[in-house]
Amino acid sequence: MPDGRFASTSLQAVDMSFSVASSETSTGSVEPLGVARPPLSIPETWDRETITWQQERLIRREYSRSTLDHESATTTSKHVIYQMSKRVLDVSLAILALILLAPIMLVVALAIRLDSPGPALFKQQRVGKSGQLFRMYKFRSMTENAGVRLNGLHKSSDDDRITRVGAFIRKTSLDELPQLLNVILGHMSLVGPRPELPEIVLQRYEPWQYKRLNVPQGITGWWQVTGRGKKLLWKHTADDLYYVERASLWFDLKLLFMTAKAVFSRDGAF
């Protein structure tokens, strides 16, 4: 919880900024997909913790407003059994993978530190289930303090910020291995929609896209095995909703096998 003096004096300004960003046009239609909204106005007095708290509050509010069809979020016995089975599968496979891959992860971390200045791990705020923010872990594949580009593809083969080791671990998907920690901590699942940046959710998401937050966000998913790295992250929501509407333990297992095939073929990886 941020300092009360920040929340009490600046909350109205953020609400006004966001209401403008998410409002409908004069004709009553929502802005076309892909039209960026104005960024939120952030007072200079806010620290990082306050900004994160405000972003999560606004995203969760919009999620509650926009997710009118809660069919996939019901607490039926079938849904509860699936969620429990999914969690057991996630934790079991994540712990096993960490044990088996620990030597490789150690070598990757050492190579990153020797290749370029900066830490081996990259940490970034992402949007999780029901709009809750969490800190996602990856092996650092770019130069330190590379920053975030909100326009264009979420990754590119000719990005000059990518280091030599970074290019290799991206191509082999080794950069994603630290997210196994996120799975064990309950922030993510092995299978699910890819977690999005809060800035993109607030500036670009339409109401219908928030339905992807009905389920835990994942390391891999339907989009990753059908259009990996070839589409704008926020434009593949239809692929994510395909998964959300068909989520099951068997579908998760199928996607894990398809992911292994995509990783070995390196299709769309860069």
97-142 pLDDT, tens digit per residue, is 999 999 999 999 999 999 999 999 999 999 999 999 999 999 999 9
Does 183 fall in a domain?
yes
Angle among Cα 35, 133, 226 to the nearest 5 degrees reads 60
Q: Which domain holds residue 253?
A: 71-265
Characterize the bridge pairing of strands 133-139 and 121-127.
Answer: antiparallel
**What confidence category does residue 240 fall into, taking pLDDT thresholds of 50, 70 and 90?**
confident
* Model confidence at 150: pLDDT above 70: no
Does 46 fall in a domain?
no
Characterize the bridge pairing of strands 189-191 and 133-139.
Answer: unpaired
160-207 pLDDT, tens digit per residue, is 789 999 999 998 889 999 999 999 999 999 999 989 999 888 888 888
* Model confidence at 152: pLDDT above 50: no
Does 198 fall in a domain?
yes
pLDDT recorded at residue 12: 39
Does 116 fall in a domain?
yes
Does 255 fall in a domain?
yes
Does 182 fall in a domain?
yes
**What confidence category does residue 260 fall into, taking pLDDT thresholds of 50, 70 and 90?**
confident
Residues 6 or more apart from 140 whose CB is under 8 A from it? 112, 118, 119, 120, 121, 122, 163, 166, 175
Q: pTM of the full predicted structure?
A: 0.75
* Model confidence at 71: pLDDT above 60: no
Please choose, from the candidates 198, 245, 196, 199, the residue with its C-alpha nearest in 3D space to the C-alpha of residue 222: 245
Domain total in the chain: 1
Does 49 fall in a domain?
no
Does 178 fall in a domain?
yes
Please choose, from the candidates 200, 95, 185, 91, the residue with its C-alpha nearest in 3D space to the C-alpha of residue 137: 185
